[in-house]
Amino acid sequence: MKIDDQTTYSSILCDIQSEIQPEFGKGKVANYIPALANVDPRKFGMAVCTIHGGEWLCGDATERFSIQSISKLFTLLLALQEVGADALWKRVGREPSGSAFNSLVLLEAEKGIPRNPFINAGALVVTDSLVEHFSDPIRHVLAWICELTGDNNIRVDDDVVRSEAACGFTNAAIANFLKAHGNLHAEVMPVLETYYQHCGLSMSCLDLARAVLPLANQGISIRTRNALMPSARARRINSLMLTCGLYEGVGNFAFRVGIPAKSGVGGGIVGVVPGKLTICVWSPELDEAGNSLVGTKALELFIGKTGLSIF
Q: Which residues contact its own copies (rule: CB under 8 A)? A: 93-99, 103-106, 108-109, 115-116, 169-170, 172-177, 179-180, 188, 234-236, 238-240, 242-244, 248-252, 254-255, 258, 260, 274, 309-311
Q: How far is the CB of 309 from its own copies (least distance, A)?
A: 5
Catalytic residue among 29, 48, 66, 69: 69
Task: Please give the Cα distance from 216 to 203 (Å, whole number).
Answer: 19
Catalytic: 111?
no
171: nearest Cα among 103, 252, 242: 103
In the complex with its own copies, the residue whose CB is nearer, 203 or 228, is 228
Q: How far is the CB of 171 from its own copies (least distance, A)?
A: 8
Q: How far is the CB of 159 from its own copies (least distance, A)?
A: 21
CA distances from 17 to 40, 114, 210, 279, 282 (A): 16, 38, 21, 14, 11
Catalytic: 72?
yes
Q: How far is CA 127 from the centre of its chain?
A: 14
Catalytic: 32?
no
Catalytic residue among 141, 250, 265, 281: 265
In the complex with its own copies, the residue whose CB is nearer, 104 or 146, is 104
- Cα Rg of the chain (Å, integer): 18
Catalytic residue among 97, 103, 195, 196: 195
In the complex with its own copies, the residue whose CB is nearer, 183 or 283, is 183
Q: How far is the CB of 250 from its own copies (least distance, A)?
A: 6
Task: Please give the Cα distance from 148 to 116 (Å, whole number).
Answer: 23
In the complex with its own copies, the residue whose CB is nearer, 176 or 226, is 176
Catalytic: 263?
no
Catalytic: 103?
no
Catalytic residue set:
69, 72, 195, 247, 265
